[in-house]
Amino acid sequence: MTPAQAERYESVHEAAGISFHKPNWIMFGSWADEYDGDESEVVFQFSVKKQIAYSNFYVAYTQRSYWQAYNTDESSPFRETNYNPEIFYRIHPENALARWLGNGPFIGSLGMDIGFEHESNGRSMPESRSWNRAYIAPYYAYEHLMITLKAWYITEDSKETPTDGESGSNNPDIADYMGYGEISVKYQTAYEQMFDLRVRGNTKTNKGGANLIWSIPLGYEGAFVMVQGYHGYGESLIDYNRSISRVGVGLMLTR
């Protein structure tokens, strides 16, 4: 197989299949005491994407679930699940910084995702939560560092209150707690350990949230021990306006 044929094969293979999108992980043990139910629960995230017909368009789906697995007195229910489909266009010009600035230190690679996403918890009122966002997310990568800035516009009209009969967002004040953007910083250290920090918020209300994941590779490819700490609003949609502090330990499959 020639190099050109190999490159074509890889492109076809990627377009024909499904690849991972956001990190995939499961925390077998986590603890927080600000929500209803047992303080300890299992939390997991599943995320995949699919390229559309060899183009730079992708469709993606992410799901995060909060499972009261140890709450046997109430038959171990799922406390909350958030469903997050999206479509986006990825711009990834090769050596963009080098072309603009010339060769030199800190010349990495630039890219950008432009997309639209819906997120909801699939429940009926008064527990229903959902929002629709158009977003732009430029990113920069250099050696072991990757920085992503994501800004969004909430496209759905808001109700005056969540229980109004009019159509619109079931959580009209969500921007007060989730803000209009977030920053993500990933840094890989010695022995392929990675620190992933994500911060978002609203400077007018001084509310937001911060999430830090430390992942350590196991002895074989494709699995990492993870330790997570979260503090702030919006850890899940049902708790978008409630401050949660969580610590957890688990297994990460993709990061």
pLDDT recorded at residue 2: 39
- Inter-residue contact 133 to 175 (CB < 8 Å): no
CATH code of the domain covering residue 196? 2.40.230.10
Catalytic residue among 40, 47, 118, 184: 118
2-16, 51-65, 166-180 — which is least confidently predicted? Answer: 2-16
Read off the tokens for 199: 């911060």
Beta strand ranges found along 92-193 (DSSP E): 109-120, 130-142, 145-154, 181-188
Average pLDDT over residues 204-209: 96
pTM for the whole thing? 0.86
3-state secondary structure of 102: coil
Provide the domain count of the chain.
1
Is residue 120 part of the annotated active site? The answer reads yes
What is each CA distance from 61 to 71, 82, 87, 110, 153, in whole angstroms?
Answer: 28, 11, 9, 24, 19
Residue-number span of the structural domain to which 136 is assigned: 3-254
Q: Catalytic annotation on 118?
A: yes
DSSP H helices in 102-206: 174-178
Closest CA to 249 of 41, 21, 47: 41
pLDDT tens profile 47-95 = 999 999 989 999 999 999 999 999 999 999 999 999 999 999 999 776 5
Q: How distant is the alpha carbon of residue 224 from its chain centre?
A: 18
pLDDT tier, 254 (very low <50, low <70, confident <90, very high otherwise): very high
Query: Out of 120, 128, 184, 243, which one is annotated catalytic?
Result: 120
Residues of the chain above pLDDT 70, percent:
83
